[in-house]
Amino acid sequence: MHKNQFLTTIMTEFYASMHRIENDNFDLFRNKPENERNFDAARHVGFSSFFFDNYDQFYTTYALFNDQASRDLFIKLILFRLLGHNHVNVNGRRWSDIEKGIEQVNQYSKGKSDIKANILGLDLHHFEKYPYLNQTIDIDSVDLNIVYGDVLGQYLYDRDGLKICVEPGDVVIDAGTCMGETTTFFAAAAGEDGFVHGFDMLPLHLGLTQHNLDQNGFKDRANIVGFGVSNTTQGGEVKPDLSNPTINPSLTINSNGGSLPTITIDDYVARENLTAVDFIKMDIEGAELSALHGAVETMKKFKPKLAISIYHLYEDYVTIPQFIKGVCPFYDFYLDHYTIFDQETVLYAIAKD
Domain ranges of the chain: 3-83, 161-309
* pLDDT for position 192: 96
pLDDT mean over 37-66: 93
Give the three-state DSSP class for 37: coil
- Quick one: how many helices (H) and strands (E) in the chain? 12, 16
pLDDT at 323 over 50: yes
Closest CA to 161 of 345, 334, 331, 307: 334
pLDDT at 23 over 70: yes
* pLDDT for position 57: 97
Instruction: Write out pLDDT tens, residues 58-88.
Output: 999 999 999 999 999 999 999 999 999 999 9
pLDDT mean over 32-49: 88
pLDDT at 37 over 50: yes
Please, are residues 183 and 177 in contact by the beta-carbon 8 Å criterion?
yes
pLDDT mean over 138-146: 95
Please, are residues 307 and 155 in contact by the beta-carbon 8 Å criterion?
yes
pLDDT mean over 94-117: 95
Half-sphere CA count of 54, side-chain side, radius 13 A: 18
* pLDDT for position 190: 98
pLDDT mean over 275-293: 96
pLDDT at 195 over 70: yes
pLDDT mean over 284-303: 96
Architecture of the domain made up of 161-309: 3-Layer(aba) Sandwich (3.40)
Higher pLDDT, 101 or 1: 101
Give 288's contacts (C-beta < 8 A, 6+ positions apart).
Answer: 282, 308, 309, 310, 312, 316, 320
pLDDT at 2 over 70: yes
R_g (Cα) of the chain, nearest Å: 20
Band (29; pLDDT cuts 50, 70, 90): confident
pLDDT mean over 234-249: 81
pLDDT at 135 over 80: yes
Rounded Cα gap, residues 337 and 287, in angstroms? 19
Band (121; pLDDT cuts 50, 70, 90): confident
Band (90; pLDDT cuts 50, 70, 90): very high
**∠160-166-170 over CA atoms, to 5°?**
135
Closest CA to 221 of 209, 236, 237, 207: 209
Give 98's contacts (C-beta < 8 A, 6+ positions apart).
Answer: 27, 29, 144, 147, 340
Higher pLDDT, 247 or 44: 44
What are the backbone dihedrals phi and psi of residue 140, each rounded to the nearest 5 degrees, phi first? -105, 110
Band (123; pLDDT cuts 50, 70, 90): confident
Rounded Cα gap, residues 125 and 102, in angstroms? 13
Rounded Cα gap, residues 231 and 213, in angstroms? 28
pLDDT at 108 over 80: yes
pLDDT mean over 128-138: 96
* pLDDT for position 244: 72
Beta pairing class for 118-119 and 122-123: antiparallel
* pLDDT for position 258: 56
Band (224; pLDDT cuts 50, 70, 90): very high
Band (351; pLDDT cuts 50, 70, 90): very high
Band (256; pLDDT cuts 50, 70, 90): very low
Band (257; pLDDT cuts 50, 70, 90): very low
pTM as predicted:
0.95
Please, are residues 337 and 77 in contact by the beta-carbon 8 Å criterion?
yes
pLDDT at 149 over 90: yes
